[in-house]
């Protein structure tokens, strides 16, 4: 850690807020030593992902710290889910302008509430003073050999499916007063169980962090296939019915980020299995289109079958 921050008694901060006994036997050493020591299960593959949240870029300086603790971990668990891994361990690197105990306490409460729900141990990290709050989490998970869900696995003829509903998080940016969608933006639910259950069922998967069009585009590029999606089939938040703003709705549903639903492709022979899985998980799974051979291009059709225009992708440097 940065020695200049040591004046605030960094080790007490870490001990008070982030040191908890590992729950998994596979974490041999956690917070408090030079490294975490993990014993992955023999025969499993290790999935590792990292995501950074920067104040002023990914969250406002007044953001509620409990929700932030949840979201910082949730976006990483969502990446693990998208590859079909079961989450196990996390590292937390955090930069703060000051040692704000109340803020840290609330942040840790949000983080650990989600971590415990999915059996994730916080096994280490780094803490430093920084000009603005920065939160970087590295999450690790396990997946049995050769069943991970890649972006590159989509095949012509596959159905395209999405979990839950899209557009709510982006709608909340335009209409922060709608409480129901605010939760979608600030406390997304990572689709962990779904990701694990899609092993052997889905051919390709991705989590929707940057919008349907952009994220489906990643599957198309990696898989070298095209896709047709029917706009009217895309499941969306019921709040759109009251808003009655078709162009905002289109932007949120097709191009809005931060929903953290899973988007995946599967052979039509899997329809009945996926219907049963949706009922079992109590999570809607909706078929919105199909993969086609040819160029890696996405066509979104309106109710009359005409191609729609949409913004695709999200560029963090735009």
Q: Which stretch binds Mg ion (CB under 5 A): 40-48, 83-91, 118-126, 217-225?
A: 118-126
Yes or no: say if 133 and 97 are a contact pair by the CB < 8 Å rule: yes
Expressed in angstroms, the distance from the first to the final Cα of the chain is: 32
Look up residue 109 and give its two tokens.
């409460």
d(C-alpha 314, C-alpha 221), whole Å = 15
CB of 1 to Mg ion, least distance (A): 5
Yes or no: say if 186 and 64 are a contact pair by the CB < 8 Å rule: yes
d(C-alpha 10, C-alpha 19), whole Å = 12
Q: Which stretch binds ligand ADP (CB under 6 A): 27-35, 40-48, 65-73, 208-216?
A: 27-35
Radius of gyration of the chain (CA): 20
Phi and psi angles of residue 239, each rounded to the nearest 5 degrees, phi first: -60, -25
Look up residue 117 and give its two tokens.
């729900």
How many of the chain's residues bind ligand ADP (CB under 6 A)? 14
Pick what 34 binds: ligand ADP, Mg ion, none; C-beta below 5 to 8 Å, kind-dependent.
ligand ADP
Residue from the set 69, 95, 110, 124 that interacts with ligand ADP by CB under 6 A:
124
β-pairing verdict for 226-230 and 44-54: unpaired
CB of 7 to Mg ion, least distance (A): 17
CB of 80 to ligand ADP, least distance (A): 18
Q: Is 19 in the site for Mg ion (CB under 5 A)?
A: no
Look up residue 10 and give its two tokens.
């960094």
d(C-alpha 175, C-alpha 165), whole Å = 17
Q: Which stretch binds Mg ion (CB under 5 A): 49-57, 84-92, 95-103, 126-134?
A: 126-134
For residues 130 and 243, which CB has a smaller minimum distance to ligand ADP in the complex? Answer: 130
Binding mask 48-87 for Mg ion (x = CB under 5 A): ----------------------------------------
Look up residue 192 and give its two tokens.
């962990």
Report which of 99, 101, 196 is spatially closest to residue 149, judged by C-alpha positions: 196
CB of 40 to ligand ADP, least distance (A): 18
Residue from the set 5, 31, 86, 266 that interacts with ligand ADP by CB under 6 A:
31
CB of 90 to ligand ADP, least distance (A): 9
Q: Is 243 in the site for ligand ADP (CB under 6 A)?
A: no
Yes or no: say if 39 and 26 are a contact pair by the CB < 8 Å rule: yes
For residues 1 and 243, which CB has a smaller minimum distance to Mg ion in the complex? Answer: 1
Count of CB atoms within 10 A of residue 98's CB? Answer: 10
Q: Which stretch binds ligand ADP (CB under 6 A): 58-66, 119-127, 132-140, 158-166?
A: 119-127
Yes or no: say if 1 and 10 are a contact pair by the CB < 8 Å rule: yes
Q: Is 126 in the site for Mg ion (CB under 5 A)?
A: yes
The binding site for ligand ADP (CB under 6 A) comprises: 1, 14, 18, 31-34, 92, 94, 122, 124-127
The binding site for Mg ion (CB under 5 A) comprises: 1, 126
């Amino acid at each position: 850690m940065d020695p200049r921050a040591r004046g605030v008694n960094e080790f007490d901060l870490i001990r008070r807020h982030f040191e908890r006994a590992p729950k998994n036997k596979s974490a041999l050493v956690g917070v408090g030593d030079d490294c975490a020591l993990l014993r992955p299960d023999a025969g499993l593959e290790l999935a590792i992902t990292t995501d950074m949240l920067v104040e002023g870029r990914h969250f406002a300086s007044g953001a509620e710290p409990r929700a932030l603790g949840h979201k910082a971990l949730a976006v990483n668990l969502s990446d693990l889910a998208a590859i079909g891994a079961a989450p196990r361990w996390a590292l937390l690197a955090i930069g703060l302008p000051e040692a704000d105990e109340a803020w840290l306490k609330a942040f840790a409460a949000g983080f650990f509430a989600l971590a415990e729900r999915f059996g994730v141990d916080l096994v280490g990290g780094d803490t430093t003073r920084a000009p603005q709050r920065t939160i970087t989490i590295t999450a690790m998970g396990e997946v049995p050999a050769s069943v991970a869900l890649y972006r590159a696995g989509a095949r012509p003829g596959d159905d395209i499916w999405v979990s839950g509903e899209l557009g709510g998080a982006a709608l909340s940016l335009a209409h922060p007063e709608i409480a129901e969608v605010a939760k979608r933006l600030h406390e997304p639910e990572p689709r962990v169980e779904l990701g694990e259950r899609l092993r052997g069922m889905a051919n390709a998967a991705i989590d929707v962090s940057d919008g349907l069009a952009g994220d489906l585009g990643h599957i198309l590029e990696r898989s070298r296939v095209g896709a047709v999606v029917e706009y009217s089939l895309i499941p969306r938040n019921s709040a759109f019915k009251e808003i009655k703003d078709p162009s905002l709705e289109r932007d949120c549903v097709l191009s809005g980020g931060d929903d953290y639903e899973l988007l995946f492709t599967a052979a039509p022979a899997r329809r009945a299995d996926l219907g049963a899985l949706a009922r079992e998980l109590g999570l809607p799974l909706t078929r919105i289109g199909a993969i086609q051979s040819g160029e890696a291009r996405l066509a979104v059709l309106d109710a009359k079958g005409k191609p729609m225009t949409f913004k695709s992708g999200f560029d963090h440097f735009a």
